[in-house]
Structure 1
Amino acid sequence: MKAFQFLLASFIPVLSFFFLPFSQGRIQNNVYSPKFYLLLGFVLLVSLWKISLNSQGVPLVSYFKILRLSRIVWLVISYFLWIVVSSAQSFMPGYAWLGSNDLQVGSLFLILCYITAILYLSAIEMNWLIRSLAFTTGAMAIIALLEAIGFRPLWTWIHSDHMIFPAATVGHRQHLGGWFAIMSLAPVYFYRNRVKDRWFWLWLTSSLLGLSLATTSAATLGVGVGLLLWLATDGKRGRWQLPLIVFAAFTVGIFAVPRVVTLTSQMIGLTPPVFKDYGSAYTLKARKLLWKSAWNAALERPFFGWGDETFAYQVFEHLSPDDARNLFRYELNLSPDAQVSYGGFTYYVDDDEKNIHSTGSILYHRAHNIIMDELYSHGFTGLSLFLVIIFSLSWKIYRTSGDFWLITACLLPYAIYLLAWFYVPTVTPLYFILAGIVLANRTKLSRPKEVV
């Protein structure tokens, strides 16, 4: 049993930093594919190990006959079956099931993530898990800081012409923001009844530093909302000092850290990254058009949807020509009068004002919103199952735990992030792992024979 718990704790840094040091300038070969197959192997191995531990020599048929599952698990199984059917009905079933070569977030990946969360319901060695999460966050923040200053410690092994730094072992700055959003409020929950030791401060400060370096609006907003919820929750208990200080430091840090890093980089003669301007409206305008396309596509196939990872081949087909041209203008940061010609996701632009004359292609693998993405990929049926699972789980936590609002503060930042982004194999599994650990920590108040 100790070995099983050690595997659960050690898999967190392994998943976060695992990569294969070869590619032809494609981070997909470096980090996306390796982590997908690592997750697949982990789920298969640990599932068999877990069944072996639980069955205790009982034949598998007899074990599954006496296995008692909760209604939430049956809902999750129903969701699994539906997204498999949705993939089979897709016009690109291979992509829908396994994902595209660029992202690999198909139906199989989603199933693996949910199973991973269920496996981590068995995580009980909280000291090991806390140290593993804190160490992983601290190491990721150090890599992100070095890359933000201008060093490239991983460039020999992980590189691409399209990488936006800091990226660490996640692949892109925007996705790294989602990674740190997952970690930012987690220590608040896990230390709710613990003395805040050095691991707490390492975990909290590293995650907020990394978030400030990533400058991802949706992640920053999500953490800000989570911090306010923490402040409101602990404020009712008369413990408002720490969350207020952390919120103030967070507010200063998201603006000050990029400037300090830029000055530091310039002083030592390195090239800093281009940090995002939080006031820019171009990304929001582009997202609105993506959501509009997903909605139009869902109305055309409302029952089964189109299948995961197929959005890139439908997005421009479900927009008017004017909207499609505007989407290219927003994405490429062109002037409003730029001339755009396109066919599918391939474009040619003439922008005399900005002296841009180029051709290329833009692939939107997902709708950049978890609700619209579910709707497009799995239809109204899949979205309904997804929302029922979330509501049922939230209601169960609310009824059985006195820490509902702290749990919400812990898990909310990445959920808000997903309202403007999408699942990726370098980030999303960590969120499901964290959710499983949180539920394992909470489910001690539930009936012991019921699997949540």
Structure 2
Amino acid sequence: MPMTRSKSIALTTNIIFLFLITFFIGRNPTKSVQSVIYEPRFLFIVGFVIFSLVFNMWRQGKNFSLIEYLLFRVKNFKFTTITAFIAMASLSAFLSPLPIIAWMGHDSAQFGTLAFFLSMGVAFFFAKSEIDSKYYIIPLSCCVLTMTALAVLESIGFRPLEQWVTSPRMIYPAATIGLRQHLGGWFAIMTLQPIFFYRRLGKDVWFYIWIISGFLGAALCTTSAATIGILIGLIFWIFAEHRNSRRVPFIAFCFFIICCLCAPILTNYISSRINNPDNTYKSYTSTTTLKTRLILWKAAAEGTYRKPILGWGSQTFPIFLPEILPERDLFNLYRLELGLPSNAPIRRHMMGYEYKNEGKWVYFNIQYIEPHNIFLSELYSRGIPATLLFIASLINILRRYNKRHLTRYTAAFIPYLFYLTFWFYLIPVTPMYFALLGIAHKEMMKDAEVEN
């Protein structure tokens, strides 16, 4: 069946958006991640949502006058848990002690309440586009392959994007995302998506290009949360296929572990042979990150206890952390982050802090944008009622899905959800997850209709 003109426009718009949100890098003399990656991509999200809104209004209301269409939409409006969540989250942002940050996000991350609502809009319009998921396979496979190629180049010491984006604190591979740990989150989103996209299709060359590229890219990031999330997703895939006695999921599980063990060592060996700088890969046995997370989670829980109804507002955490957390815990957090002895002297100084090193005081100013746990972040930012409404909305959606493909759906989407239990939303990463959720929602609802 040929694609209609409106569907063709929607598909083209969606694919362009996916490429821009993944790869676009702007021009700015500072070459900072925020100026060349975060800010332009935020504008792309705004532009996509506005265009999709106008386009869908034109498509649905072309037989109505503007007044008739608006009356039709108001008449058919339903107050659901999602609209209740939006209302509570908006109230939280308006009444936050720092409403501008609550709406627009912290300068370092720029993912406030507005960006979250826009990401929800991205999911909504991808679901409304009514385009079969098979049309996304090749573009998304090319995205993963390209990102992996950039990760490999940076892992062996080349810096192909240095003329556009650079920072003294940048940890490679960063590709077009800006930081190794955040790139790990992107691969947590993308790597196992073929499990869902191919649930009714035979595996072809694009399936293997997509998933193998994803394995290699995720392995080079050495981000523990992303790696464990992907392993959990692979276990779900093994369960989904065990009745069919297929060995591909188990082989994929073993292959990914081999990639994680060998890829960082191999790239460092190659970089040393060609006299390029080595990357500092994170050891999976390190417990420092978990120790810092536990302190941050304690702070988020204390913040929720103090403002349980409306929270403090999105990404206000770095401003109120010194107020919420006792000084002893705060200084222990900084010692862990800086790799200092447990008894190293730390004191407040001007807008930051100082620690003593060889008799001299050294200034530092570390900011934690979020509690590094999405559930605690929601509670801290928006309060208990909004968080419960958000969870209820997700449960209501999942209950409508076809149980036959739910395990594959879980395998594809749980890696990033697990990643978010240790990290947070990001402009260059999270909108892709919402877009894929929109595609999957449309497909799961279609499967449920066929089943019934």
* TM-score range for the pair, normalised by the shorter chain length: over 0.9
Q: 1:423 aligns with which of 398, 405, 425?
A: 425
Partners of 2:117 and 2:244 lie apart in 1 by 39
Amino acid at match of 1:220: T
Q: 2:141 aligns with which of 134, 138, 141?
A: 134
The within-5 A match list for 1:12-161 is 12-66=18-72, 74-121=80-127, 122-161=129-168
Given that 2:20 and 2:44 are in contact with CA atoms closer than 8 Å, whether structure 1 keeps it comes out as: no
Q: 2:185 aligns with which of 178, 190, 195?
A: 178
1:331-363 deviations in Å (ceiling 9; x for gaps): 1111222111136972111245xx985211011
1:363-417 deviations in Å (ceiling 9; x for gaps): 11111000110010001111111211222222222xx342011101111000000
Partners of 1:345 and 1:150 lie apart in 2 by 36
Tell me which residue corresponds to 1:318. 324
Partners of 1:69 and 1:269 lie apart in 2 by 65
Given that 1:226 and 1:413 are in contact with CA atoms closer than 8 Å, whether structure 2 keeps it comes out as: yes
Partners of 2:124 and 2:243 lie apart in 1 by 33
Are residues 344 and 253 of structure 1, via their aligned partners in 2, closer, same or farther at CA, if it must alter by over 3 Å?
Answer: farther
Give the C-alpha shift of residue 228 in structure 1: 0.5
Q: 2:302 aligns with which of 285, 296, 299?
A: 296
Tell me which residue corresponds to 2:261. 255
1:378 paired with 2:382, answer yes
Tell me which residue corresponds to 1:190. 197
Are residues 343 and 96 of structure 1, via their aligned partners in 2, closer, same or farther at CA, if it must alter by over 3 Å?
Answer: farther
Partners of 2:147 and 2:364 lie apart in 1 by 33
Partners of 1:75 and 1:372 lie apart in 2 by 20
Are residues 60 and 75 of structure 1, via their aligned partners in 2, closer, same or farther at CA, if it must alter by over 3 Å?
Answer: farther
Partners of 2:84 and 2:270 lie apart in 1 by 53
Amino acid at match of 1:311: F
Q: Secondary structure at the match of 1:226?
A: helix
Given that 1:345 and 1:363 are in contact with CA atoms closer than 8 Å, whether structure 2 keeps it comes out as: no
* Count of aligned pairs: 442
Given that 1:316 and 1:344 are in contact with CA atoms closer than 8 Å, whether structure 2 keeps it comes out as: no
Give the C-alpha shift of residue 57 in structure 1: 2.5
1:133-188 deviations in Å (ceiling 9; x for gaps): 11111101101110111000000011111111110110110000000000111001
Greater shift, 211-220 or 327-336, is seen at 327-336
1:84-122 deviations in Å (ceiling 9; x for gaps): 110111111001011122211111000000010010012
Are residues 63 and 444 of structure 1, via their aligned partners in 2, closer, same or farther at CA, if it must alter by over 3 Å?
Answer: farther
Give the C-alpha shift of residue 446 in structure 1: 4.8
Amino acid at match of 2:314: D
Greater shift, 110-119 or 329-338, is seen at 329-338
Partners of 1:305 and 1:211 lie apart in 2 by 34
Q: Secondary structure at the match of 2:356?
A: strand
The within-5 A match list for 1:268-307 is 268-307=274-313
Greater shift, 26-35 or 9-18, is seen at 9-18
Q: Secondary structure at the match of 2:297?
A: helix
Partners of 2:284 and 2:259 lie apart in 1 by 13
Q: Secondary structure at the match of 1:6?
A: helix
Tell me which residue corresponds to 1:166. 173
Q: Scaled by the length of structure 2, what TM-score is found?
A: 0.94
Given that 1:5 and 1:123 are in contact with CA atoms closer than 8 Å, whether structure 2 keeps it comes out as: no
Partners of 1:35 and 1:263 lie apart in 2 by 35
Partners of 2:146 and 2:234 lie apart in 1 by 23
Partners of 2:152 and 2:211 lie apart in 1 by 15
Tell me which residue corresponds to 2:233. 226
Q: 2:209 aligns with which of 202, 219, 232?
A: 202
Give the C-alpha shift of residue 419 in structure 1: 0.1
Given that 2:132 and 2:443 are in contact with CA atoms closer than 8 Å, whether structure 1 keeps it comes out as: no
Are residues 298 and 447 of structure 1, via their aligned partners in 2, closer, same or farther at CA, if it must alter by over 3 Å?
Answer: same
Are residues 248 and 64 of structure 1, via their aligned partners in 2, closer, same or farther at CA, if it must alter by over 3 Å?
Answer: farther
Q: Secondary structure at the match of 2:82?
A: helix
Amino acid at match of 1:278: Y
Q: Secondary structure at the match of 1:7?
A: helix
Greater shift, 46-55 or 165-174, is seen at 46-55
Partners of 1:273 and 1:416 lie apart in 2 by 25
Q: 1:246 aligns with which of 252, 261, 276?
A: 252
Q: 2:373 aligns with which of 369, 374, 378?
A: 369
Q: Secondary structure at the match of 2:302?
A: helix
Are residues 295 and 61 of structure 1, via their aligned partners in 2, closer, same or farther at CA, if it must alter by over 3 Å?
Answer: farther
Amino acid at match of 1:420: F
Q: 1:412 aligns with which of 408, 411, 414?
A: 414
Given that 2:102 and 2:314 are in contact with CA atoms closer than 8 Å, whether structure 1 keeps it comes out as: yes
Q: Secondary structure at the match of 1:350?
A: strand
Q: 1:211 aligns with which of 205, 214, 218?
A: 218
Give the C-alpha shift of residue 69 in structure 1: 7.2
Given that 1:6 and 1:128 are in contact with CA atoms closer than 8 Å, whether structure 2 keeps it comes out as: no
Amino acid at match of 1:215: T
CA RMSD of aligned residues (A): 1.9
Q: Secondary structure at the match of 2:348?
A: strand
1:219-244 deviations in Å (ceiling 9; x for gaps): 111000000110011112322x0000
Structure 2 unaligned spans of 5+: 1-5
Are residues 411 and 427 of structure 1, via their aligned partners in 2, closer, same or farther at CA, if it must alter by over 3 Å?
Answer: same
Tell me which residue corresponds to 2:3. none
Are residues 362 and 441 of structure 1, via their aligned partners in 2, closer, same or farther at CA, if it must alter by over 3 Å?
Answer: same
Question: Identity rate of aligned residues, in percent?
Answer: 33
